[in-house]
Amino acid sequence: MINTYGNKDDFPIFNKRVNGKRIIYLDSTATTQKPRQVLDAIIGYYEGSNANVHRSVYKLADEATEVYERSRKNIGDFIGSRENEIVFTRNTTESLNLLSYTVGESLKKGDRILITSMEHHSNILPWMRLEERGVILDYVGLDEMGHLDLEDLKSKLKRETRIVSVAHQSNVLGTINPIEEIGKIAKDNGSIFIVDAAQSVPHMPFRIREEYDFVAFSGHKMLGPMGIGVLYGKYNLLEEMPPFNRGGEMIKDVDFHNAIFEDPPIKFEAGTPNVEGAVGLSAAVDYLKNIGMEEVRRHERYLTSITLKSLDGMKNVKYYGPRDPDERGGVIAFNVKDTTNLKKDLEGRNIKVDRLYHSHDIATFLDDRNVYVRSGHHCAEPLMRTLNITGTARASFYVYNGDDDVEAFISSLSEI
């Protein structure tokens, strides 16, 4: 019997009581709670080192710059990259938009981009805007269990496919895509390969490989603060790319009509950066390293396994994605079928009915029992259309969840 790997006592929010009872937080796919170690690191920065970075020669500014750049190195080490290949952004969305407005700007009419039907809107809309210029956006299909159809991927990978951009793990289906294999296929085709790792870097061991040209992820999904994201990029590619934003700090020299830009990664960090975010994310990385990412993955697999086993015994519950916990992350999207007397009466007259309760109703029902799950389309409307549904409820786990949270979730769900 496993409880948690991240001690719940480390997370102040779990001291909160609603109607005298504890909260069961099952929405870590959207954002994670923050341990005291991360909060203390942020407060410690403001109380002891706060100054603007890279710009001044006095000691406090030097100290702030050192803290900021040390955070960059720690995060780079965490995924196996050099520190000068780590660009700080606001989140995964901004990282992917940065690529759309830099790498994407080099595409011309007739060039192609290949993504998948399970992508988050953040990995759809930045590429969709390029269709206005005649760039063709292709989607890889899925099989009935929510796996990526690799044969379909190969058939849609054309000579003109300049970019392949794929989620490592679906934020709805939980499907873990074989990005190493996909990366090799993309590189053999001469395509730039981009990984949306928002749902994987926080939950499993992740190391940069030669096939990966760019990797994007968010701090707030891995115990860090909101407003800090990461874009990994191969240094030679970052050197070739134009800046995304322009302004202070990211220049070497400016006259009235010309500018010389800084080297990466500073070239992409215009203006005052989110130093507190970098410090907080670095502390979150330390917290996860202390647990061990293999243990994080093993714990989530265990929680997912016992949850799926319970859901399999609930005939009115339908969940989506692979059945094998080894093939999915700790996120379970589900719907509940309406089993009212009206439905039974219609079925008794041979009228087929498969009506689902609205996902918001399910989430509200669980909320009344202090069980917090997500509901809606999860910023994946094309996937919802593929599944022929309008949305789902979604439970997701992290290091602070344990057997007791699963039991509370299943017990509350069984009341519907």
Q: Which residues does the annotation mark as catalytic?
A: 379
Cβ within 8 Å of residue 175, ≥6 positions away: 118, 146, 147, 148, 169, 321, 322, 327, 328
**Integer angstrom CA distances of residue 402 from 2, 133, 314, 408:** 7, 49, 21, 10
CA angle (105, 109, 110) in 5-degree steps? 120
Question: How far, in Å, are 226, 288, 298 from residue 291 at the CA level?
Answer: 22, 5, 11
Helix (H) or strand (E) holding 137: strand 136-140
DSSP letter at 65 equals H
The whole-angstrom separation of Cα 165 and Cα 217 is 13
Residue partners of 308: CB distance under 8 A and separation at least 6 = 319, 323, 325, 332
Q: Which residues of 18-28 are buried (b: 16+ CB within 10 A; e: fewer)?
A: eeeeebbbbbb
- Show the tokens assigned to 125: 């809309």
Are the CB atoms for 122 and 93 separated by under 8 Å? yes
Q: How many CB atoms lie within 10 A of CB 80?
A: 12
User: Are residues 281 and 224 in contact, defined by beta-carbon separation less than 8 angstroms?
Assistant: yes
Query: Scanning the structure block, which residue is given the tokens 């109703």?
Result: 361
* CA 277 – CA 280 distance, rounded (Å): 5
- Please say whether the beta carbons of 91 and 97 come within 8 A: no
Q: In this structure, what DSSP letter does residue 242 have?
A: P
